[in-house]
Structure 1
């Protein structure tokens, strides 16, 4: 699966395009009140990625086990220190509702934690590298 996120930002314009394989869609996040940048910060979006991954994976893993999950709630909390410092104390909690016994739903929830790709990416310390930089002077 090939995933790409593209962001374009100019004064009062913040456009996001997400692509997985050949499927592209957009999400709306308004610019900051100053008109430049995103009103959502990277930490919030990182935590949203963790919550979204776990939510989607619960449904995927439930389907594999033949469990009908009817609702998922995920809350991710953590801390950031000074600028340039990585996050710490990242924890998440989930509520999974479905048509199965409590022990079966708990086993599903615990198993999903072990296969959630975003969680495993962070836990594994995957390197992030910067590629080509293009600059354009207009002044």
Structure 2
């Protein structure tokens, strides 16, 4: 699966495109009040990525086990200090409702934590390479 995200920014103009295997969608994130940059910061989008990945993966893994989920809530958070320093204390909380007993839903959450791709990418600590156009 090939995934990319693109940002185009100029005065009072901010566009975000997401692409997964050629399926493109846009995400509506306005410019900062100054007109330049994004109103959402990278940390917020990182934590949104963690929450979104886990939410989607819960539905995927539940379907494999014939569990129907009726509600999923995921809240991811963390901290950043000085400019240029990596984030720390990354955590997330999950609450789900479905047609299975609580013990089965708890097992589903634990299993999904082991297979969530974004989480495992961060846990592994992959390299990020800058290229130029």
TM-score (norm 1): 0.94
- 2:112 equivalent to 1:130: no
Which one has the largest radius of gyration? 1
Residues 87-106 of structure 1 mapped to structure 2, 5 A cutoff = 87-106=87-106
**Residues 22-42 of structure 1, C-alpha deviations (whole Å, 9 max, x = no match):** 210000000000000000000
Residues 48-127 of structure 1 mapped to structure 2, 5 A cutoff = 48-127=48-127
| Corresponding pairs, count | 133
Unaligned runs of 5+ in 2: none
SS state of the match for residue 7, structure 1? strand
Partners of 1:114 and 1:126 lie apart in 2 by 17
Q: Could you tell me how far 1:55 is from its partner in structure 2?
A: 0.2
Partners of 1:97 and 1:22 lie apart in 2 by 33
Partners of 1:7 and 1:82 lie apart in 2 by 24
Q: Could you tell me how far 1:77 is from its partner in structure 2?
A: 1.5
Show the counterpart of 1:137. none
SS state of the match for residue 55, structure 1? helix
Kindly report the root-mean-square deviation, in angstroms, between the aligned alpha carbons of the 2 structures. 0.6
TM-score (norm 2): 0.98
Runs of 4+ in 1 over 6 A off after TM superposition: none
SS state of the match for residue 31, structure 2? coil
